[in-house]
Amino acid sequence: MKKVLFVASESVPFIKTGGLADVVGSLPKSFDKNEIDCRVIIPKYKCMDGKFLENLEYVTHFYMDLNWRSQYVGVFRTVCDGVTVYMIDNEYYFSGPKPYGDICYDLEKFAFFSRAALSILPVIDFRPDIIHCHDWQTGLIPVYLKDCFAQSDFYRGIKSIMTIHNLKFQGIWDVNTMKDIAGLADSYFTIDKLKHGKDGNYLKGGIVYADYVTTVSNTYAEEIKTPFFGEGLDGLMRARSNCLRGIVNGIDYDEYNPETDKYIEKNYNIDTFRKEKVKNKRALQQELGLEVNDRKFMIGLVSRLTDQKGLDLINCVMDEICAEDVQFVVLGTGEERYENMFRHYAWKYGGRVSANIYYSEAMSHKIYASCDAFLMPSLFEPCGLSQLMSLRYGTVPIVRETGGLKDTVEPYNEYDSTGTGFSFANYNAHEMLGIINYAKSVYYNKKREWNKIIDRGMAKDFSWKTSAKEYENLYSQILGW
């Protein structure tokens, strides 16, 4: 039995700001329980829903050195869908209104978290064979493992994997502050280790020191070896390419299931969507104050509202997108300029555009179930889960061919009647508009073809089944057993 420990800054159902939480919350329970004992460590944020906080079991507490600081480490435990989850408590670090805030403060927070995650292992009596780290917040773990922790028998030989969910965020700050926070010697801050330009870089440390590096799709694994997608680390990614692989994400097929989903008006499946799916559309139109009309081509967008998601393309041609025969439903939060942009269009095209600038699990499910198409024109997209959720709900994705979007959405080909969605190649607003209009014309003029696109999309399997196996194989490869 292999013992694997996931360490991450977020996980569903406890705390979520994006797809990372979906992955950390759903991959561990997909492993073969006879082969892998996978446990998870996340912070115990005060902003988590009270119903989770109330049901945690207190395990222990102790004080830990973080350079010259001595900090309280509380350990709590719960079991979720058969997976043991430990939470690290420290009110100084984890009592903010959101998991992340000011970057300098976050750097100390996650240095503490990374060190604490390693320090609690003897106390909870779990010696993992592999520590699987996710994103920059856990970048120091592979470094610490080879540094101070390597002197102890308990830690010696533990392997580490660094999974990159988004190379854009690296945890960068000036070297002196970082040294002071992390308590690492000067020798770590050279250009082949944690130093990046003039600064220190957590994720770079993780990538350099991890035994293996993965990212969340094949295409993104290739893209990040190039300067455009490499965010300054493309050279390092090329240097590590022997130990770098893309494994595409899955989604939780129990949580995202149109047949059983409790959030939606009318359940349906691949056999019944032709009749039933539209009932969700009607209900959503009513709820959001849009014109109630089965025929209208309804486009959905559920997203963090940031540059990554290609929202300036939408801004550029929104007037053209919002033709008489289109409805556009947005759910998202993020940068103020994008929030205001969608508010503006909702005001300008009342009854046609609905801007829901908040976070809601329930509303996201309703949008996946109700819309005809789902727009995701990302500038870059390591994997993307929203397009997988759309496919699962029979909502046709319209995406840009980058990262995981390219790997998971097969473009419609009208000549041989194949494909599960629509895609365009260049980051160009009119190219996107052209493909939206093409999708719209298939929807309006070739409804049978449109429904076959849905059939093919719903028949695809984007559960964790295949990818969990790939991770299991990788664990075997790294351990040699």
Q: Give the binding site for ligand GLC (CB under 6 A).
A: 18-20, 23, 165-166, 216, 249, 381-385, 404
Token readout for 269 is: 């499946």
171 neighbors 194 (Cβ within 8 angstroms): no
Nearest CA to 178 out of 210, 202, 209, 204 is that of 202
Please give the Cα distance from 240 to 202 (Å, whole number): 16
CB of 387 to ligand GLC, least distance (A): 9
**Strand 373-376 to 396-400 pairing:** parallel
Q: Is 169 in the site for ligand ADP (CB under 6 A)?
A: no
CB of 215 to ligand GLC, least distance (A): 8
Tell me the C-alpha to C-alpha distance, in Å, between residue 268 and each of 277, 317, 406: 6, 34, 27
410 neighbors 419 (Cβ within 8 angstroms): yes
CA angle 172, 167, 382 (to 5 degrees): 160
CB atoms within 10 A of CB 466: 13
Residues binding ligand ADP: number (CB under 6 A): 17
Pick the closer one to ligand ADP by CB: 158 or 167.
167
Strand boundaries in 335-478, DSSP class E: 353-356, 373-376, 396-400, 422-424
Pick the closer one to ligand ADP by CB: 19 or 139.
19
Pick the closer one to ligand GLC by CB: 30 or 166.
166
Please give the Cα distance from 171 to 200 (Å, whole number): 8
CB of 302 to ligand ADP, least distance (A): 5
Residue closest to ligand GLC (Cβ): 19
Strand boundaries in 149-211, DSSP class E: 159-164, 172-174, 195-196, 199-201
Which positions from 20 through 59 interact with ligand ADP, judged by CB under 6 A?
22
Pick the closer one to ligand GLC by CB: 387 or 420.
387
Each residue 295-324 as x (binds ligand ADP by CB under 6 A) or -, in order, gives: -------xxx--------------------
- Sole binder of ligand ADP in the list 114, 327, 354, 386 (CB under 6 A): 386
Provide the phi-psi class of 168: left if phi over 0, else alpha when psi is between -120 and 50, else beta: alpha
Each residue 321-360 as x (binds ligand ADP by CB under 6 A) or -, in order, gives: ----------xxx-------------------------xx
Supply the DSSP symbol for 15: B
> Of ligand ADP, ligand GLC, none, which one does residue 360 interact with (CB within 5 to 8 Å by kind)?
ligand ADP
- Sole binder of ligand ADP in the list 19, 171, 300, 377 (CB under 6 A): 19
Pick the closer one to ligand GLC by CB: 241 or 308.
308
Q: State the greatest distance between any 2 C-alpha atoms of the chain, in Å, as a whole number.
A: 69
Residues forming the site for ligand ADP (CB under 6 A):
18-19, 22, 302-304, 331-333, 359-361, 364, 383-386
